[in-house]
Structure 1
Amino acid sequence: MRDYQLYLIDLDGTIYRGNETIASGVRFVKRLVDQKKDYLFLTNNTTRTPEMVVAKLKTHGITTDIAHVYTPSMATAEYLLHHCQNHDSKISVYIIGQVGLWKEILERPEFIYDEQNPDYVIVGMDTDLTYQKVRVATRAIRAGAVFIGTNADLNLPLGDELIPGNGSQCAMIAAASGQNPMYIGKPEAIIVDMALKRVGTKKEDALIVGDNYNTDIKAGFNSGVDQLLTLTGVTTKEEIKNLKQPTLIVENLDEYQL
């Protein structure tokens, strides 16, 4: 087995399920720390700030810091700063989302909020989505703004329910504007590439760990990073028996030998 130096770890379904702790996931992180292996929590959740993620993890028995958290909000900001053509002026953005996205973008001095003529429309999960927000986004995209979706999750687990996710929000705006978004979060390679760049690790030295074949595992396929599927969340072996297989599959993370 390859000696991985960096573990990119999903949260919901891997470390916890809502308010329920997945003990094997917590033990896995503690083993990484004990063996001085580097890790980064790679989540698709844009509603929380890194500080909020750290606080959430503490309730599940993991003590960490914001240097070990990477979100699509962070990847979106860093991607735009790296790829924006005109660095001599502010990057104007219209944002749909919650505190994790707003704070990450607008606390950076390079960005300015603009509802009238933004360079980019950035859409993240927004449980207070309104018709007016969609209208402003649609108008801006039709006028030439680049449409960015932080992640494409159509649904999110909430207890025993699957609720609409950001991909569903983006689908509505795409239908209204006639433009499909460029997505940043898993399963896109962008968030993985930006995370590896942040910590200075090569692809061959990293392993993506998660429970969702369509986000975590496909992110590994798309970025060329090995994958570890844990069957503690949404994906079952039966569902993927005829699909491309992950590098590794375990019932739970206690089975994985470092």
Structure 2
Amino acid sequence: MDNIEGLLIDLDGTLYHGRHMIPGANLLIAGLREAGIPFLFVTNNSSRTPESVAAHLRGMGIEAKGEEVCTSSLAAARYISGESPGATVAILGEEGLHQACAEAGLTIVTESPQYVVQGIDRSFTYDSLARAARWIMDGAVSVLTNPDLMLPSDDGVMPGAGTIGAAIEAASGVAPIVIGKPHSHLMTYATSLLGIEPKNAIVVGDNMRTDIAAGAGAGCRTVLVLTGLTTEDNLEHYKSVTGITPDYICADLTELGTLLGLY
């Protein structure tokens, strides 16, 4: 674990399950602070603002600040502003995406956008689909915050941003630029926020298909924690499916803290 300059830490399945903290999550974050190791909470969630995500963590007893949260909405907005500063964008999404685009200096419009940026949108309608498809067919660049097809909720799983994106792609015939995990844009953006090279960052997550794949794709080192989706029973299956082997595997967050020399 030489030359560690920062950690990019997944949330759901890694630090918590829904509204319940995974044992040791609070101690891990406290240990990183005490050791002076920089980190970011990195999430595909495009609906929440960074401060809302931080408040959710604090509500479970995990110390967190808004500036320590990196969302797919932030990365999508920064991607667009990097390509076309001040570009006009039509947004299919929620508060987190609207705030991120505004703060990135993009011009939010409802007609003739240069970009269509889409995340989870629980007010999505047939009219939304028709307008987005027309804009993209007329030349607007399609940007998808994250490709998650389904999301957990209190009522079971529900369609995610990727499901809406699939409908827009089918209607327009144009594949979007995908920002969130398992694609590398989100991780690359997160390392830029920390001011470090990807090779000196460690991605921590529970999902081989998203967290670990994104970290490996961005050139980061990876730590898989068996606290969520990936378990000892399905680990070999996911290695086979993804073609990726994590650099380190920890049974739980206590083992991760020990690996990092925090305890």
The TM-score normalised by the length of structure 1 is 0.93
Query: Which residue identity lines up with residue 8 of structure 1 in the other structure?
Result: L
Cα distance in 1 for partners of 2:26, 2:210 equals 21
**What corresponds to 1:100 in structure 2?**
96
Structure 1 residue 229 corresponds to structure 2 residue 224:
yes
Whether the 8 Å contact between 1:115 and 1:136 is mirrored in structure 2 is no
Whether the 8 Å contact between 2:144 and 2:165 is mirrored in structure 1 is yes
**What corresponds to 1:39 in structure 2?**
39
**What corresponds to 1:73 in structure 2?**
73
**What corresponds to 1:155 in structure 2?**
150
Cα distance in 2 for partners of 1:57, 1:189 equals 24
Cα distance in 1 for partners of 2:236, 2:69 equals 32
Bigger mean CA deviation after superposition, 195-204 or 40-49: 195-204
Deviations 1:71-97 (A, max 9, x none): 11111111111122xx5xx41111001
**What corresponds to 1:118 in structure 2?**
113
Cα distance in 1 for partners of 2:153, 2:207 equals 15
> Helix, strand or coil: the match of 1:161?
coil
**What corresponds to 1:241 in structure 2?**
236
**What corresponds to 1:4 in structure 2?**
4
Bigger mean CA deviation after superposition, 116-125 or 198-207: 198-207
CA drift of 1:115 comes to: 2.5
Indicate the percent of aligned positions where both proteins have the same amino acid.
38
Aligned 1:185-224 pairs, distance under 5 A? 185-224=180-219
**What corresponds to 1:22 in structure 2?**
22
CA drift of 1:107 comes to: 3.9
Cα distance in 2 for partners of 1:173, 1:238 equals 36
Whether the 8 Å contact between 1:25 and 1:252 is mirrored in structure 2 is no
Cα distance in 1 for partners of 2:131, 2:224 equals 39
Deviations 1:178-211 (A, max 9, x none): 0111101111111111111122111222100111
Cα distance in 1 for partners of 2:193, 2:36 equals 19
CA drift of 1:160 comes to: 7.2
Candidates 133, 138, 142, aligned match of 1:143? 138
Query: Which residue identity lines up with residue 130 of structure 2 in the other structure?
Result: R
> Helix, strand or coil: the match of 2:171?
helix
Deviations 1:32-81 (A, max 9, x none): 11211111001111111011011111111122212211111111111111
Whether the 8 Å contact between 1:50 and 1:70 is mirrored in structure 2 is yes
**Unaligned segments of structure 2, at least 5 residues:** none
Candidates 166, 190, 205, aligned match of 2:161? 166
Whether the 8 Å contact between 1:186 and 1:215 is mirrored in structure 2 is yes
Whether the 8 Å contact between 1:121 and 1:146 is mirrored in structure 2 is yes
Cα distance in 2 for partners of 1:145, 1:64 equals 37
**Unaligned segments of structure 1, at least 5 residues:** none
Whether the 8 Å contact between 1:117 and 1:140 is mirrored in structure 2 is yes
Whether the 8 Å contact between 1:10 and 1:216 is mirrored in structure 2 is yes
**What corresponds to 1:58 in structure 2?**
58
